C-alpha cells in the first residue's frame, strides 16, 4: 500500500499532474502551519492510523482530516477516478493499492523532490520501483501486505491436530472435522472464511490458489496468457467446492471485514485475511484473544 498526494486541478487542456517545479514553487517560502489536508483511507480505522496522523500533525503543524472510503478496493478506486474525472479537490492524500500507480499517475504529484536520498533509499526498493511511473514517484510506501492463514490454535488442540495445515487438503480435513464438532453447540460455525465477493479481494485469493497449485499466473512475463491450464482449473474447482461445505454460502459476497466478523466472533476455524486482522483479533473485547495463530497460506 502507498500514500499518494493529488495534483491540483489543471486548466482545460493541461494534464492535471503538477510538475516537481510547479509543486516546489507553490510551497517554497511558505509555511504549512495551520493548513488542513484531507486524507482518504479505508472504511474503518485500523491499528496505527491514529498514531500516524498524530505524528504527522505534530511534525508539520498541518491538521489531517481523515475520511473513510469504501471497504471494497474496487469501489475505492472507482471513487478516486470519479473525483478526478469531476475535477474535485476534495481529497489531498489517498491510500492506494499496489496495482493502482499506473492507473492514477497522471493525477498524482511527483513526491521524489520531497525526499532526501537517505529517506528514498530507506524504503524497500521493489515497492519504490512499483510506485514510480515515467520517472515520477507517485506514492510513498506505507506498508506491505501478504495474504495469511489465520487458525484457531485452541480448536486445533481440542480436535487433536499437531499444528496448522501445510496443504489445502489438510486445511479441508481440519476444517471439516472442527466444523462438525463445533456445530454441536454452535450451528453458525464454519470451517473456513475468505473473500469471495466479485472485487479485487477475490482476485487476490484466486491468484494465491492458482499459484499454490503451480497453475502459473494470468499473464506471464513474456505476455503469454497462461491461466487456461489444468492446474489453475483444479485450484478454482477446489475453492468452488468449499462453498456451502466448509465455507458459508454467503462467502461469495464476503469482503475482508465480513470474513473477519465471522472469524473474530468465534464462528470459524480458519480465515484468509491480511495482517491488519491480527491486532484486531487480539483486542481486549475479542472473543478469540490469545486463541489463534497465523501462518503462510498453503
CA distances from 132 to 78, 86, 100, 136, 142 (A): 21, 25, 11, 5, 14
Give the highest mean pLDDT range of 12-16, 125-129, 278-282: 278-282
3 state DSSP class of 72: coil
pLDDT for 168-177, tens place per residue? 999 999 999 9
Report the predicted TM-score, pTM, of the whole model to 2 decimal places: 0.74
> Cα 117 to the chain's mean position, in Å?
28
**Chain CA centroid to CA 205, Å:** 12
Mean pLDDT taken over the chain? 88
Q: Is 106 in contact with 15 (CB distance < 8 Å)?
A: yes
Bridge partners, 132 (sequence order): 137
At 90, list the grid cell: 476534495
Q: Are 205 and 194 in contact (CB under 8 A)?
A: yes
Contact between 55 and 83 under an 8 Å Cβ cutoff? The reply is no
Whether 15 shows a pLDDT value over 80: the answer reads: no
CA dist., res. 101 & res. 99, Å (int): 6
pLDDT tens, position by position, 264-274: 999 999 999 99
Q: Yes or no: is domain 2-141 CATH 3.20.20.100?
A: no
96 and 103 Cβ atoms separated by less than 8 Å: no
3-state DSSP helix/strand/coil % of the chain, to nearest 5: 40, 15, 40
Summarize the confidence of residues 216-244 as an average pLDDT. 94
- Cα distance between residue 283 and residue 287, in whole Å: 9
Least confident range from 18-22, 92-96, 241-245, 259-263: namely 18-22
Distance CA 70, CA 42 (A): 6
Mean pLDDT of 59-80: 91
Q: What is the pLDDT of residues 29-45, one digit of tens each?
A: 455 677 999 999 888 77
State the Cα–Cα distance between residues 263 and 287, nearest whole angstrom: 10
Same fold, 2-141 and 148-296: yes
What is the bridge-based pairing of β-strands 190-193 and 268-273? parallel
| pLDDT in the model for residue 1 | 59
* pLDDT, greater one: 43 or 242: 242
How far apart, in whole angstroms, are the C-alpha atoms of residue 137 and residue 119? 13
For the cut 60, the answer to whether the pLDDT of residue 27 exceeds it is: no
Q: What are the angstrom distances between the C-alpha of 80 and each of 12, 75, 207?
A: 20, 9, 25
* pLDDT band, very low/low/confident/very high, at 25 (cuts 50, 70, 90): very low
Average pLDDT over every residue of 47-68: 89
CATH superfamily name and code, 148-296: Periplasmic binding protein-like II (3.40.190.10)
The ranges assigned to domains in the chain are 2-141, 148-296
Place of cell 503462510: 296
The total of other beta-carbon atoms located within 10 Å of residue 141's CB is 19
pLDDT of 3: 65
In this prediction, residue 5 carries a pLDDT of 61
8 A C-beta contact, residue 54 and residue 63: no
Amino acid at each position: 500500500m502507498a500514500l499518494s498526494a493529488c495534483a491540483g486541478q489543471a486548466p482545460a487542456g493541461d494534464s492535471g499532474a503538477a510538475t516537481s517545479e510547479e509543486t516546489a514553487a507553490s510551497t517554497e517560502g511558505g509555511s504549512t502551519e495551520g493548513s488542513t489536508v484531507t486524507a482518504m483511507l479505508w472504511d474503518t480505522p485500523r491499528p496505527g492510523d491514529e498514531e500516524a496522523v498524530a505524528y504527522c500533525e505534530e511534525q508539520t503543524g498541518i491538521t489531517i482530516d481523515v475520511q473513510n472510503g469504501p471497504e471494497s478496493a474496487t469501489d475505492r478506486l472507482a471513487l478516486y477516478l470519479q473525483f478526478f474525472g469531476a475535477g474535485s479537490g476534495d481529497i489531498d492524500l489517498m491510500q492506494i493499492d499496489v496495482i493502482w500507480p499506473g492507473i492514477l499517475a497522471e493525477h498524482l504529484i511527483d513526491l521524489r523532490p520531497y525526499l532526501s536520498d537517505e529517506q528514498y533509499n530507506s524504503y524497500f526498493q521493489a515497492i519504490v520501483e512499483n510506485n514510480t511511473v515515467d520517472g515520477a514517484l507517485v506514492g510513498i510506501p506505507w506498508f506491505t501486505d501478504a495474504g495469511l492463514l489465520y487458525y484457531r490454535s485452541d480448536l486445533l488442540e481440542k480436535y487433536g491436530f499437531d499444528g496448522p495445515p501445510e496443504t489445502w487438503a489438510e486445511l479441508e480435513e481440519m476444517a471439516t472435522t472442527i466444523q462438525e464438532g463445533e456445530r454441536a453447540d454452535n450451528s453458525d460455525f464454519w470451517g473456513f472464511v475468505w473473500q469471495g465477493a466479485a472485487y479485487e479481494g477475490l482476485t487476490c485469493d484466486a491468484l494465491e490458489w492458482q499459484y499454490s497449485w503451480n497453475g502459473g499466473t494470468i499473464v506471464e512475463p513474456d505476455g503469454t496468457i497462461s491461466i487456461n491450464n489444468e492446474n489453475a482449473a483444479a485450484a478454482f474447482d477446489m475453492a468452488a467446492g468449499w462453498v456451502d461445505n466448509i465455507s458459508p454460502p454467503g462467502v461469495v459476497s464476503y469482503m475482508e471485514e465480513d470474513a473477519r466478523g465471522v472469524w473474530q466472533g468465534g464462528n470459524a476455524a480458519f480465515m484468509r485475511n491480511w495482517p491488519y486482522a491480527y491486532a484486531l483479533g487480539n483486542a481486549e473485547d475479542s472473543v478469540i484473544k490469545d486463541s489463534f495463530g497465523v501462518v503462510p497460506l498453503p
